Structure 1
Amino acid sequence: MAKNKPFRLLPAASNCWTSGLALDGARALGQQFDISSNPPKVLILYGSLRKTSFSRLLAYEYARILEDLGCDVQVFNPRGKCLPVKDDTSDNDPKVTELRNLSIWSEGQIWVSPEQHGTITGVFKNMSRKSFGSFSSERRSSIPKAWTEFDMVEGLTDELELPVGRLKASSFRDRVVDVAEEFFKFMVLLRGKTDFLVDRYSEREEKKLHGRLLAQAEKEDNAPTNK
Structure 2
Amino acid sequence: MDPLEDLPNIDPDLFRVPEPAQLGLAPMHAHPPRILLLYGSLRRRSFSRLAVEEAARLLRAMGAEPRIFHPRGLPLPDAEDASHEKVVELRELATWAEGMVWCSPERHGAMTGIMKAQIDWIPLALGAVRPTQGKTLAVMQVCGGSQSFNAVNQLRVLGRWMRMLTIPNQSSVPKAFMEFDDNDRMRPSPYYDRIVDVMEELVRFTWLIRDRVDALTDRYSERIESADALSRRVNQRAI
Residue 16 of structure 2 corresponds to residue 24 of structure 1 = yes
Cα separation, partners in 2 of 1:207 and 1:26, compared to 1, 3 Å: same
Residue of 171, 187, 209 corresponding to 1:190: 209
Residues in 2 aligned to 1:207 and 1:125: alpha-carbon distance in whole angstroms: 30
Residue 37 of structure 2 corresponds to residue 38 of structure 1 = no
- Deviation track 1:94-120 (CA, whole Å, cap 9, x = no partner) reads 111111111111110001110112211
- Deviation track 1:39-70 (CA, whole Å, cap 9, x = no partner) reads 11111111110001111110011101110011
Alignment of 1:1-227 (within 5 A): 16-18=8-10, 20=12, 22-24=14-16, 26-27=18-19, 29=21, 34-35=27-28, 37-79=30-72, 82-87=73-78, 89-132=80-123, 136-138=154-156, 140-153=170-183, 165-211=184-230
SS state at 1:43 partner: strand
Name the aligned partner's letter for residue 148 of structure 1: M
Note the residue ranges of structure 1 that are not aligned, 5 or more in a row.
1-7, 154-164, 213-227
| Contact residue 60 and residue 66 of structure 2 kept, 8 A | yes
Deviation at 1:86, TM superposition (A): 1.9
Please report the RMSD computed on the Cα atoms of aligned residues, expressed in angstroms. 3.1
| Contact residue 26 and residue 184 of structure 1 kept, 8 A | yes
Note the residue ranges of structure 2 that are not aligned, 5 or more in a row.
125-131, 133-152, 158-169, 232-239
| Contact residue 39 and residue 72 of structure 1 kept, 8 A | yes
Name the aligned partner's letter for residue 208 of structure 2: L
SS state at 1:152 partner: coil
Comparing 109-118 with 82-91, greater Cα deviation is found at: 82-91
Deviation at 1:29, TM superposition (A): 4.2
Deviation at 1:25, TM superposition (A): 6.2
- Deviation track 1:3-25 (CA, whole Å, cap 9, x = no partner) reads xxxxx9xxxx9563358473436
Cα separation, partners in 2 of 1:15 and 1:118, compared to 1, 3 Å: closer
* Residue correspondences, number: 190
- Deviation track 1:135-160 (CA, whole Å, cap 9, x = no partner) reads 9524932111111111121xxxxxxx
SS state at 1:206 partner: helix
Aligned residues: percent identity?
A: 38
Comparing 52-61 with 134-143, greater Cα deviation is found at: 134-143
